[in-house]
Structure 1
Amino acid sequence: MAEYVIGDIHGEIDQLKTIIDKINYKPKEDKLIFLGDYIDRGADSYKVYRYIKELDNGDNIFLRGNHEEMMIDAVLNDNNIDLWYHNGGQATERSFPNRSELKEAARFFNSLPYYHSSQDYIFVHAGIRPDRKLKKQTEHDLVWIRYQFLGAKPGDFKEKRTVVAGHTPVPKVKFEENKILMDTGAGKGGILSAINLETKKVYSSAEKNPIASIL
């Protein structure tokens, strides 16, 4: 069985389907781990939502990202709507056929976990605080943290497992001693990437990342 990790999608349904084709995904044999941020910015958040629901077979892992958090707060709680809109929420709203399905999607995203872990890896949307073990992390940090995680050296971490995260765009999948960074800018003009967790082979929706020079 192969395990594949897929980075931030941001409403780019064609890129997601390209990745699924490139890895030659076999539902009965392979496992997919998604790092969150399925929605916002790109034009087809609704189609991405419907597609990942089709992939939800009980074995694949779907984590939540900060964009799902913003949608949940805006759609289910009527809070911080301007924040969601400022970060691409209006594109998501436009992609949904009606308010009922938008709320259904928000409820689905609200059921997703903040992290997934194994013996060797921690999978999370944004990263972790280096000075805390996984169970001591806050939900906010798991979907929002950036520089404190990115700037920390391997020796700073209480967790000795490799952290696989998205959230912060990079020109190409970045392998560090204790981090793998997966967000290659889909939804911002960039590409979507995935890795085979065992072989570390990278699969991307295009050969070149159009925004690599600005990341």
Structure 2
Amino acid sequence: MNRKVKSIWLDSFEGREIVISDIHGDYDGYNLLLKKINYQPGQDRLILLGDLVEKGFENLKLLRQIKKQTEEENVYAVMGNCDFVAKNFLYSYRLDFIKEVLLKRKGSLIHEMIQEAALDPLSDETDMDQLAYELRKHFLAELSFLNDLPHVIETPKRIYSHAGLIDEKTYADDFSYVLTYPLFAECEMRFTKMIVVGHMPVSEYCRFKADCNPRFFSESNIFSIDGGNMVKKAGQLNAIIFDGNLVSTDFIDHLPLARAKVTTHPKNRTSFVISFNRGEVEVVEEGETSSRVYSPYLKRTFWIDNDFLKGHKGTDFTNYEMPLRQGEAVKVIQSYGSKTQVKKQGIIGWTLTENLEFDELKLNNPQS
């Protein structure tokens, strides 16, 4: 397999350049976001930063839409690590490994292809070589589209990749770096052109307040835009819009709404976040509903609700109490004990459940 980085060049564009990353098979969310930002085919340029498929539940439908958009509109996409599943089946590459992954993954392009082709569901007994043959026979166009995606798109002002780069000239010696570079926005490099990436949910970079919105790292000239859609409970699908010298962002999510019954003014003197990549903790005292832990990353001891503690790892927990204004709407992430984790304008926090009113509010509201 050729492991060189494949790139394409796009000339300057006079209209809006819209960038969306990590859709993860979310057909409805993708189209809600396009509608919300008033995407205009033929007038706007749309760049998709990979992970088009996997983990969501309308992968095949989304893939066919994006394939058609790239053929008929000013739409371009790069490959993400999740899109690599197409190579696995096109080339019968590491099929035993991908079998283990897919047996644990509920939402997958492969599951949907199997169902549409009326094949037996994936199981421990599945002959993976035969399955790969059948999928190539039925879905060669779809698999080839993902397989042929470039790893990098470069324009006069910006470079787009799924996860990151090693340098601006060669991008990387092996495409795996471009697909999987961990926590790229924290690299010590300073890029001349702006680098726009997804892959790592933006909230993973947060230490004091969890924020799912696109974030610009000025010290490295990197824009990280993955909102954790279909991956995190609080996830959202982000878009960043470059329009001349103007930059704006927007998002949608699928979280239900609640309304604040009261106005609150929490103090929040020492708020912090425990995220997946920095979630290692030492349990000091285990309680029935919460535990006292020490975080080497934060260098502090604190109580964490057990709903956010899995073994010796805490994830997506914050002690930030969300300020509320009576009558305003917030997004509901999850309830635990007497508290509810909520999101407002992309920021995650908690409030007492008694502060919220849940009835008569619609689900899947695309408003931010």
The offset of 1:209, in angstroms, is 8.7
Q: 1:66 aligns with which of 57, 76, 81?
A: 81
Indicate if the aligned counterparts of 1:67 and 1:84 stay in contact, CA closer than 8 A. Answer: no
The offset of 1:195, in angstroms, is 1.1
Equivalences for 1:105-120 in 2 at 5 Å? 105-120=142-157
Q: What does residue 241 of structure 2 align with?
A: 196
In structure 2, C-alpha distance between the alignment counterparts of 1:103 and 1:152, rounded to whole Å: 38
**1:164/1:77 CA distance change after superposition, 3 Å:** same
Bigger Cα Rg: 2
Aligned residue identity for 1:119: P
Q: What does residue 42 of structure 1 align with?
A: 56
Question: CA-to-partner distance for each residue in 1:39-75, whole Å, 9 max, x for gaps?
Answer: 1111111111011122112632111111112x13321
Does 2:226 align with 1:183? yes
Q: Secondary structure at the match of 1:197?
A: strand
Q: 1:174 aligns with which of 191, 215, 219?
A: 215
Does 2:196 align with 1:164? yes
Q: What does residue 301 of structure 2 align with?
A: none
Equivalences for 1:50-61 in 2 at 5 Å? 50-56=64-70, 57=72, 59-61=74-76
Higher mean alpha-carbon deviation, 3-12 vs 98-107, is at: 98-107
Aligned residue identity for 1:185: G
Indicate if the aligned counterparts of 1:35 and 1:165 stay in contact, CA closer than 8 A. Answer: yes
Indicate if the aligned counterparts of 1:173 and 1:181 stay in contact, CA closer than 8 A. Answer: yes
Q: Secondary structure at the match of 1:116?
A: strand
Q: Write 1 or 2 for the structure with the bigger share of helix.
A: 1
In structure 2, C-alpha distance between the alignment counterparts of 1:89 and 1:67, rounded to whole Å: 14
Q: What does residue 94 of structure 1 align with?
A: 111
Indicate if the aligned counterparts of 2:164 and 2:178 stay in contact, CA closer than 8 A. Answer: yes
Q: 2:41 aligns with which of 21, 27, 42?
A: 27
Does 2:26 align with 1:12? yes
Structure number with higher relative contact order (C-alpha < 8 Å, ≥ 6 residues apart): 1
Higher mean alpha-carbon deviation, 177-186 vs 80-89, is at: 80-89
**1:186/1:62 CA distance change after superposition, 3 Å:** same
Aligned residue identity for 1:205: I
**1:213/1:34 CA distance change after superposition, 3 Å:** same
The offset of 1:5, in angstroms, is 0.3
Question: CA-to-partner distance for each residue in 1:80-125, whole Å, 9 max, x for gaps?
Answer: 2354452748622222222344443221111111111112211000
Identity %: 25
Q: 1:78 aligns with which of 92, 95, 107?
A: 92
The offset of 1:17, in angstroms, is 0.5
Q: Write 1 or 2 for the structure with the bigger share of strand.
A: 2
Does 2:186 align with 1:151? yes
TM-score by length of 2: 0.52
How many residue pairs get matched?
207
Higher mean alpha-carbon deviation, 23-32 vs 182-191, is at: 182-191
Indicate if the aligned counterparts of 1:121 and 1:164 stay in contact, CA closer than 8 A. Answer: yes
In structure 1, C-alpha distance between the alignment counterparts of 2:18 and 2:138, rounded to whole Å: 29
Higher mean alpha-carbon deviation, 88-97 vs 1-10, is at: 88-97
In structure 2, C-alpha distance between the alignment counterparts of 1:182 and 1:82, rounded to whole Å: 32
In structure 2, C-alpha distance between the alignment counterparts of 1:168 and 1:23, rounded to whole Å: 23
In structure 1, C-alpha distance between the alignment counterparts of 2:237 and 2:138, rounded to whole Å: 25
Give the root-mean-square deviation of aligned CA atoms: 2.4
Q: Secondary structure at the match of 2:108?
A: helix
TM-score by length of 1: 0.86
For structure 2, which runs of at least 5 residues remain unmatched after alignment?
A: 1-14, 118-134, 203-211, 254-329, 334-342, 350-368
